[in-house]
Structure 1
Amino acid sequence: MEFRDVVRRRRMVRNYDPDRPVPPEAVERLLAHATRAPSAGFSQGWGFLVLTEQADRERFWAATTPEGNGMTGWLAGMSRAPLVVVAHSNRSVYLERYAEPDKGWTDRDPGRWPAPYWDIDAGFASLLMLLTAVDEGLGACFFGIPPQRVAGYREAFGVPPEFSPIGAITVGYPAPDRRSPSLKRGQRPPDQVIHRGHWTGRRAI
């Protein structure tokens, strides 16, 4: 598939065919591409929890789903995904890397960073997985773990304290589904988001 087609076809898929597992070779390509993402100082301070077994996926949904809501609506479709990958960032890896001689921030002060690149880099890796899914003929969706459920998630899977989950990705073969209501918003016109040489045109809101 041409790269331009991968980009155009990418969308968040929220309903999956539970009877079609993701081929193991596709899982490995997803992860291999994720680790090719750029990272500040080539720190590579990410970590990926890969859940392919049904018992592990059920444990994930039990730990991360708000109590009392049940697996209804969009969660019902998401929970059918045969693969869940949770992307994590590790700030300490970046602070240590940038204290090395070629960088020199020996105070390891997070305030030196204009943005949390540890989270951004894990996001880059996640996007590569989303694009790889399209190239493999699969669907995928990136979503966050509710803050109040993070502690339960950590305990359920033994996540080390230095790793922070920035989001999870469901992957599988798409099932027939209505298009997301969010798509009704349409794509914002280029003049609202692209500014050449000077910030002009309509204010982006």
Structure 2
Amino acid sequence: MEFRDVVRRRRMVRKYDDRPVDPAVVDRMLAHAVHAPSAGFSQGWAFLRLDRPDELERFWRTTTPEEYLETMSDWLAGMRAAPVVIVPLSHKDAYLDRYAQPDKGWTDRDPESVAARWPVPYWHIDTGMAALLILQTAVDEGLGACFFGIPPECTDRFRDEFGVPRSHTPIGAITVGHRLPDPGRPGSAASRRRRTPDEVVHHGHWGGRG
């Protein structure tokens, strides 16, 4: 598939059938993810791969608020059918360690200096870029995928269930599977117009156009 087609066809898919995904395809998704850019080549990311029925059941049980489990919304039912979930995790300490090395010029990991040195948390941003490569690979492989957040009140339960250390932060999760038609719902890409480059690109000055 041409890269332009991968970009144009990428959508958040929320309904899947129960066919399994070839493990080799998941391998390729993760192999592509580690080619994402990272500040200082820190590579402060990790990925939890869940593709067994018991693992998936534990994931949804620990990351879904009780009220949603009780009602089992259409969104949740469609997402739970996905045979693969990948959780990208960012690792802040990898960046602090990397930038304390001689070639970067910062010789300490002083927590009070972090805000001044890092205008934005690149450990989260870079892991998000890796997640996008997973989403794009899914499209290239003819699959569907969806990136979504883990509710804050469920994060500790998720960590405990899967042994995720406190040093790593789940930035979200990605379902992967064979897509089913989704009629769309309020707020989704199916019912909202995509903004054009002319509406969001400022050329040379805020408000300026080419």
TM-score after normalising by structure 2: 0.93
Q: Post-superposition shift, 1:201?
A: 6.0
Q: Which residue of 1 aligns with 2:31?
A: 32
Q: Which residue of 1 aligns with 2:87?
A: 86
Q: Post-superposition shift, 1:179?
A: 2.4
Q: Alpha carbons of 1:134 and 1:180: their partners in 2 closer, same or farther (altered >3 Å)? A: farther
Within a 5 Å distance, the mapping from 1:63-74 to structure 2 comes to 63-70=62-69, 71-74=72-75
Is there any run of 5+ residues in structure 1 with no aligned partner, and where? none
Q: Alpha carbons of 1:180 and 1:138: their partners in 2 closer, same or farther (altered >3 Å)? A: farther
Give the RMSD, CA atoms, in angstroms. 1.3
Q: Which residue of 2 aligns with 1:132?
A: 137
Whole-angstrom distance in 2 between the partners of 1:2 and 1:54: 34
Moved more, 107-116 or 30-39: 107-116
Corresponding position: 1:11 with 2:47: no
Whether the 8 Å CA contact 1:191–1:201 is kept in 2: the answer is no
Within a 5 Å distance, the mapping from 1:13-162 to structure 2 comes to 13-18=13-18, 20-70=19-69, 71-108=72-109, 109-111=113-115, 112-162=117-167
Q: Post-superposition shift, 1:68?
A: 2.3
Q: Post-superposition shift, 1:189?
A: 3.1
The residue matched to 1:102 in structure 2 has which SS? helix
Whole-angstrom distance in 1 between the partners of 2:9 and 2:199: 22
Whole-angstrom distance in 2 between the partners of 1:192 and 1:201: 11
Is there any run of 5+ residues in structure 2 with no aligned partner, and where? none
Within a 5 Å distance, the mapping from 1:153-172 to structure 2 comes to 153-172=158-177
Whether the 8 Å CA contact 1:16–1:77 is kept in 2: the answer is yes
Amino acid at match of 2:89: H
The residue matched to 1:185 in structure 2 has which SS? coil
TM-score after normalising by structure 1: 0.95
Whole-angstrom distance in 2 between the partners of 1:180 and 1:104: 50
Identity across aligned pairs (percent)? 64
Whether the 8 Å CA contact 1:90–1:162 is kept in 2: the answer is yes
Whole-angstrom distance in 2 between the partners of 1:134 and 1:76: 22
Whole-angstrom distance in 2 between the partners of 1:180 and 1:85: 24
Q: Post-superposition shift, 1:110?
A: 1.6
Whole-angstrom distance in 1 between the partners of 2:46 and 2:196: 36
Whether the 8 Å CA contact 1:46–1:89 is kept in 2: the answer is yes
The residue matched to 2:31 in structure 1 has which SS? helix
The residue matched to 1:69 in structure 2 has which SS? helix
Moved more, 172-181 or 153-162: 172-181
Count of residue pairs the alignment pairs up? 201
Q: Alpha carbons of 1:56 and 1:47: their partners in 2 closer, same or farther (altered >3 Å)? A: same
Q: Which residue of 1 aligns with 2:181?
A: 176
Give deviations 1:35-92, integer Å, cap 9, x for gaps: 1111111111101000000100000000000002223220110000000000000000
